[in-house]
Amino acid sequence: MKKFLSILLALVMCFAVAVPAFAVNTTGDLKFGTDGKFKIMQIGDTQDMILKDVAEIKLITAALAQEEPDLLVFTGDQLTDFFPGANVKGLKKCLSNLFDIIDTYGIPFIVTFGNHDHDYDDIWPTEDQLTFYKQYENCIVPEDRFNPGTYNVPIMSSDGESIAFNIYMMDTNNKRADSDLLTGYEGVKPEQVEWYRQTSDKLKAANGGKVVPSFVFQHIPVKEIYQFLEEVPYNEAGDDAVFSIDTFKWYTLGDKVIDGVLGEVPCSEPLESHTGQYQAWVEKGDVISAYFGHDHVNSFRGMTDDGIILGYNGGTGFSSYGRGGDRSVRIFELDENDIENYNTYELTFNKMVMEIPFYFLDLFSPAIVTTLGKILRVILPGFAWDLILDSMA
């Protein structure tokens, strides 16, 4: 009998070693209100510097006062991309300019990381950056997580008896060394996709066999965002078209778009590679929407052929390029009885603060590529465009 038990124990231990034990959260402190409502505010691309971004803080605090959200979601690039001689003390100062103020509102917040946060991995890894955020009492990033920026946060029903909604926070890593100019970002890694699959299954099991409707928040968009763009001939590109320096082609928004603005060609995960992230969402059927940052002058959203809404919040901060006074936060209003038909809208600086700050950094926007394209379109004859496109094919 003892020998049989020893063999059985050995088999169990081998199985435990062979199958990774991914962390998953099936309970949480957040829940829908007694009215069945829950409100989220997405903030992204603050890219804060040593000098306090006064305009950004005016936008965020005005939105907090008006909306009184239940949760704040930071979708990456909290750190600036321009910090010569950066050190940990200085980087902490960049973040504390905003988060000391956020802390006074007592609103729970969660955070993931963008490529510029990863730019400092050699001196301040994201695990240590997360330790900085966790010093704030209202940072509710869970202890059970795949990595510092990849985890899930369940939102319980108003009676606290079941999981009504779930948020996946995904770290999309950094830019690839061999990247193209615009679409060379890593995106999620295979092991993160596997974590998502297993987490989705565990949430479903904890929810009595029913999938838990979920949002994904991450920095870099999936390449399927390109479903919403249509290529237009160079000589027919109107004022709403944008120019891609990667492909030397013009794009505009297509008929799958629900609302919003295209200000630059999406800088997504590589178009030629396959992370499998989006396909996993389709396979599991729980992700109803995914929202991104990164492309500061994009605010559009649309529905894919698979029925998943993909969208942006335009950049929030004024320490990097953006949409002038249309820098924004995005609001999500959810009803636990009808989650798929949630309401979402952007609150812009122009709408909330009604001041006219100086937008010097907007001169460095990728949108200037479109201006360059318009100049080239005028000075280059059609056959020259055709020769360039043929050479790139």
Strands (E) across the chain are located at 37-43, 71-75, 109-112, 151-156, 163-170, 214-218, 229-232, 242-244, 249-253, 257-259, 287-292, 301-303, 309-312, 328-335, 343-348
With respect to residue 15, please indicate whether it lies within any of the assigned structural domains: no
Query: Is residue 14's pLDDT more than 60?
Result: no
With respect to residue 385, please indicate whether it lies within any of the assigned structural domains: no
| Token representation of residue 221 | 């968009």
Neighbours of 205 (CB within 10 A): 12
**What does pLDDT average to over the chain?**
90
| E strand or H helix that includes residue 61 | helix 54-67
Query: Is residue 24's pLDDT more than 90?
Result: no
With respect to residue 96, please indicate whether it lies within any of the assigned structural domains: yes
Strand duo 309-312 + 287-292: pairing = parallel
> d(Cα 22, Cα 145) in Å, to the nearest integer?
8
> d(Cα 45, Cα 39) in Å, to the nearest integer?
20
**What is the end-to-end Cα distance of the chain in Å, rounded?**
70
Instruction: Specify whether the CB–CB gap between 156 and 173 falls below 8 A.
Output: no
pLDDT given at position 178? 64
pLDDT tens string 85-143: 999 999 999 999 999 999 999 999 999 999 999 999 999 999 999 999 999 999 999 99
With respect to residue 285, please indicate whether it lies within any of the assigned structural domains: yes
* 3 state SS of 171: coil
Q: Which of 150, 190, 171 is nearest to 279 (CA)?
A: 190
Q: Which of 329, 314, 331, 330 is nearest to 365 (CA)?
A: 314
pLDDT given at position 387? 84
Q: Which of 90, 45, 44 is nearest to 320 (CA)?
A: 45
112 — phi, psi (to 5°)?
-125, -175
What value does the mean pLDDT take over residues 156-180?
89
> d(Cα 185, Cα 93) in Å, to the nearest integer?
27
Its domain, for residue 280, covers 22-231+253-361
pLDDT given at position 9? 37
| E strand or H helix that includes residue 95 | helix 88-104
Q: What is the DSSP letter of 341?
A: G
174 — phi, psi (to 5°)?
-125, -170
With respect to residue 392, please indicate whether it lies within any of the assigned structural domains: no
> d(Cα 51, Cα 116) in Å, to the nearest integer?
18
With respect to residue 6, please indicate whether it lies within any of the assigned structural domains: no
Q: Kindly state the percentage of the chain with pLDDT values over 70.
A: 91
Q: How many domains does the chain divide into? A: 1
Torsion over CA: 20, 26, 28, 30 (sign): positive
- DSSP string computed for 219-272: SSPPGGGGGGEEEE-GGG--TT-EEETTTTEEEEE-TTEEE----S----S-TT
pLDDT tens string 254-277: 999 999 999 999 999 887 777 899
With respect to residue 276, please indicate whether it lies within any of the assigned structural domains: yes
> d(Cα 230, Cα 312) in Å, to the nearest integer?
18
Q: What count of Cα atoms within 13 Å lies in the side-chain half-sphere of residue 305? A: 4
With respect to residue 237, please indicate whether it lies within any of the assigned structural domains: no
pLDDT given at position 4? 34
pLDDT tens string 206-216: 999 999 999 99
> d(Cα 368, Cα 372) in Å, to the nearest integer?
6
What value does the mean pLDDT take over residues 309-316?
96
Q: How far is CA 245 from CA 96, 289, 373, in A?
A: 36, 29, 8
Torsion over CA: 67, 68, 69, 71 (sign): positive
CATH code assigned at 71: 3.60.21.10
**Does this model's pTM top 0.85?**
yes
